[in-house]
Structure 1
């Protein structure tokens, strides 16, 4: 973590908080990404706002990466995906697919993700969200310890 920058982290956190507040005030919905994405298939009656939110999320990420290529990575070098550990003998695309699948399964089991529980749930003082966030962070610490990827 030699590239941690408190200013960009604070700005990013503020933007996440602003986005969740706008969605809640404007639409009455919690900005839990797994819940928003999970209701696309099978389509719920409220597909349009979900698609708009997810497309805006992805486009804002691309926009920020294009406007500020070194933002949050500690220099002028653009961010890259983390490669799979060589000792595990798995290619990076397979590694990422497995990680995404396990994340999806975990969010289904936990009835939400870090954005829903960590940002919105904790802000509402939800005990269930507090327990979920403690589990998320504990598993993340163990995962980093086991894989060695920081």
Structure 2
């Protein structure tokens, strides 16, 4: 967290909120990534806007990293995946697969992900989203405490 700056955090949060508002007001859709991605396979009738949104999401992150490399996590050093705890003896590919499956399962049973509940749900004053965000943060605190990974 030594590279945290309030200005870039506020700018990033504002852009995320603006993107969510534009999607909601312009398309009547919530910017929950798990819902957007989850409706690609099997294809829903509204595939085009979902693909455009996801491609723009990745392209925007890539372009920002190239245009403003010092704004990334850790300054000018490229971000890296967090390795599994050495004492656990889990190979990194297994660590990533298990983490991805847990995230997918959690978003399915939680009816959404952190972006859908945290950004859009809280903005709509959804009680279900408030409970979900409190659970997300509680589990994150416990995970950091247990694994020691920050």
Q: TM-score, normalised by structure 2?
A: 0.95
Q: How far apart in 1 are the matches of 2:115 and 2:86?
A: 31
Which range moved further: 120-129 or 70-79?
70-79
Q: Could you list the structure 1 runs, at least 4 aligned residues long, displaced by more than 3 angstroms after superposition.
A: none
Asked if 2 retains the 8 angstrom alpha-carbon contact of 1:122 and 1:129, the reply is: yes
Which range moved further: 82-91 or 51-60?
82-91
Over the aligned positions, Cα root-mean-square deviation in angstroms equals: 1.1
How far does residue 149 in structure 1 lie from its aligned partner after superposition?
A: 0.7
How far does residue 72 in structure 1 lie from its aligned partner after superposition?
A: 3.6
Aligned positions of 1:2-17 closer than 5 A: 2-17=2-17
Q: How far apart in 2 are the matches of 1:97 and 1:62?
A: 23
- Structure 2 residue runs of 5 or longer lacking an equivalent are none
Aligned positions of 1:67-86 closer than 5 A: 67-86=67-86
Task: Name the structure 1 match of 2:45.
Answer: 45
Q: How far apart in 2 are the matches of 1:73 and 1:45?
A: 37
Task: Name the structure 2 match of 1:123.
Answer: 123
Count of equivalent residues: 150
Asked if 1 retains the 8 angstrom alpha-carbon contact of 2:33 and 2:115, the reply is: yes
Task: Name the structure 2 match of 1:99.
Answer: 99
Asked if 2 retains the 8 angstrom alpha-carbon contact of 1:23 and 1:29, the reply is: yes
- The secondary structure found in structure 1 opposite 2:19 is helix
